[in-house]
Amino acid sequence: MLKRFVSHINTQHFPYTHSLLFELKKKKRKLKSRKPPQRDSAAIALRESRCKMADANMNNTETEHVSIDSEAAHVISSAVECHGDDDDVGALHDVVKGLPSHAVKDLLSVGVCTRCILRLFGIGGNIYSISVISPSILNSVIGEQRHDEEISSNSKELEFEEVLCALCLGILQFTYCDDKEIPVKKGNANDMAVAISELVKREGYQIDSFSLEVSVPPIILENEHSVRLYMKRKYGTETWFQGGPLSQSISAKDALKFSLAKPLETMLDCKSGISNFRIRLTFSHKASKVVQSVAVSKQGCKRIKTGTGSSVDSLDDSVAGDIKCSDLADATVERSFDGLQDNESSECFKFPLEKVNDACRLVLLCQRTPIYFGGRYLKYSRNVSQTRWIIDDERMGEASVEEIIGSNIQPLCQGDNYKFHAAGREDIDVRMLGSGRPFLVEVQNARRIPSEAFVREIETNINNLENKLVGVKNLKVVGIEGWTMMHEGEAEKQKQYAALVWISRPLEDVDLDSISSLKDMQILQGTPIRVLHRRSPLQREKIIHWMKIERIGGSSQYFLLHLCTQAGTYIKEFVHGDLGRTHPSIGSILGCRAEILQLDVTDVKMDCFLTE
DSSP strand pairing (394-395 vs 390-391): antiparallel
Report the SS3 class of residue 541. strand
Q: Which residue in 596, 598, 603 sits closest to 574, CA to CA?
A: 596
- Point out which residues pair with 213 in neighbouring strands: 280
Q: Give CA separation, 14 vs 1, 21, 137, 538, in Å.
A: 17, 11, 20, 81
Give the DSSP H or E segment for 185: strand 183-185
Catalytic member of 178, 269, 427, 513: 427
**Selection from 170, 288, 280, 128 nearest residue 214 by Cα:** 280
The Cβ of residue 218 has, within 10 Å, a number of other Cβ atoms equal to 27
Neighbour order of strands in the sheet with 361-368: 183-185, 175-177, 361-368, 277-284, 209-215, 271-272
Buried b (16+ CB within 10 A) or exposed e, 314-330: ebeeebbebbbbbebbb
Distances (CA, A) of 235 to 62, 228, 229, 351, 501: 17, 10, 10, 15, 90
**Identity of the amino acid at 483:** W
Q: How far from the centroid of its chain's Cα atoms is residue 530's Cα?
A: 43
3-state secondary structure of 577: coil
Strands (E), 41-173: none
Distance from C-alpha of 110 to C-alpha of 167, rounded to nearest angstrom: 9
What is the C-alpha separation between 360 and 291, in angstroms, rounded? 15
Q: Residue 509, by phi and psi: left (phi above 0), alpha (psi -120 to 50) or beta?
A: alpha
Q: Which of 566, 575, 573 minimizes the C-alpha distance to 544?
A: 566
**How many other C-beta atoms lie within 10 A of the C-beta of residue 29?**
9
Helix (H) or strand (E) holding 561: strand 558-566
> Is 427 among the catalytic positions?
yes
* 386 DSSP assignment: S
- The span from the CA of 106 to the CA of 121, in Å, is 14
Residue 498: strand, helix, or coil: strand
Burial class (CB in 10 A: 0-12, 13-18, 19+), 448: middle
Catalytic residue annotation: 427
